[in-house]
Structure 1
């Protein structure tokens, strides 16, 4: 059996957001952490993800959007656990961004190969990351790059509620 952990971005996903739709369609999926909304304190998010991954020896698939991708990569840089794979959807390019909370970790995205299978979904029209930056993330993390086309940030504001391609990618990871 495989656990599925949903790693939210900076804000609370709207009811029509594809990540919220996954949670509703699959009540066995668990938020890690529960969507708290701003401000985003990366060290707290990493700690919550670590607690969720560590609570069982059962393998997990991490499903992350936006800043949740940074949480996932930050967790993998300093922790290990039974993770089978990760779906990273439109990670933002935040190198040099200063955290809202001065006690937070500096936001320097780790660039090491991830120790589990990773699929990175990239957009050609994301307002936070260029396609070349997505390609560099995929190369650095050893991720398979999926070109989703002109999908903005692949969020509610870009018109994404249900996202069948995302469901397919999750099922392929386990």
Structure 2
């Protein structure tokens, strides 16, 4: 699959991703990318964030690929509960926030703080850094295993955000292209009435 064959849904975490963040750059660069807008980027609410993702998936006209960062990864896992097999072609999950770290974020809804531990109904890759201050690699590996996601060690890369020097993140874009190529061809999405 090529990026032009998919609706790429960008799902930022707490506070959103600005134009210098790799997600903001991908949004500007990839012609089929679109932002899943949340009502309040500073007060993540499990049901509200998950329902926005589900609505964006169901509004898509091509196969859907989710690209999530930090608390956005948690939102994808919560949304997966409401998604049917085949609605999402794959998910590219980067730098999940740990359950402990999320409790420290002001405005975070308590229900958002516990990760779902069921297998995702779509192929996924989870990328984690050995030096991420918001999630240990042991926790990220456990999440990847529970979700049935491929685990990728990003080395000494911090939280894989602008502050850690990952504005452009060319290695991530190459990894994403490889992930897309590995997704099996999915027929044109059927528009449901």
TM-score normalised to structure 1 length: 0.89
Q: 1:77, 1:97 → 2: CA distance?
A: 22
Q: 2:172, 2:53 → 1: CA distance?
A: 21
Shift of 1:133: 0.7
Moved more, 117-126 or 161-170: 161-170
In the alignment of these two chains, the number of paired residues is: 173
Q: What does residue 84 of structure 1 align with?
A: 89
* Pairing 1:170–2:180 present: no
Q: What does residue 57 of structure 2 align with?
A: 53
CA deviations over 1:3-29 (Å, ceiling 9, x no partner): 100001111223211010101112420
Q: 1:106, 1:160 → 2: CA distance?
A: 26
SS of 2:113 mapped into structure 1 = coil
Report if aligned partners of 1:13, 1:35 keep a CA contact under 8 Å in 2. no
SS of 1:78 mapped into structure 2 = coil
Shift of 1:165: 1.9
Report if aligned partners of 2:54, 2:82 keep a CA contact under 8 Å in 1. no
2:149 maps to which of 143, 148, 152: 143
Shift of 1:34: 5.4
* Pairing 1:153–2:170 present: no
Mark the CA change 1:35 to 1:88 in structure 2 (over 3 Å): closer, same or farther. Answer: farther
Shift of 1:66: 0.3
Over aligned residues, Cα RMSD in angstroms?
Answer: 2.2
1:122 maps to which of 120, 128, 132: 128
Q: 1:138, 1:56 → 2: CA distance?
A: 26
CA deviations over 1:86-137 (Å, ceiling 9, x no partner): 01001011168398376x7453211111111110001000111111111111
Report if aligned partners of 1:32, 1:49 keep a CA contact under 8 Å in 2. yes
2:99 maps to which of 90, 94, 97: 94
2:33 maps to which of 24, 29, 35: 29
Could you tell me which runs of 5 or more consecutive residues in structure 2 were left unpaired when the two chains were aligned: 181-193
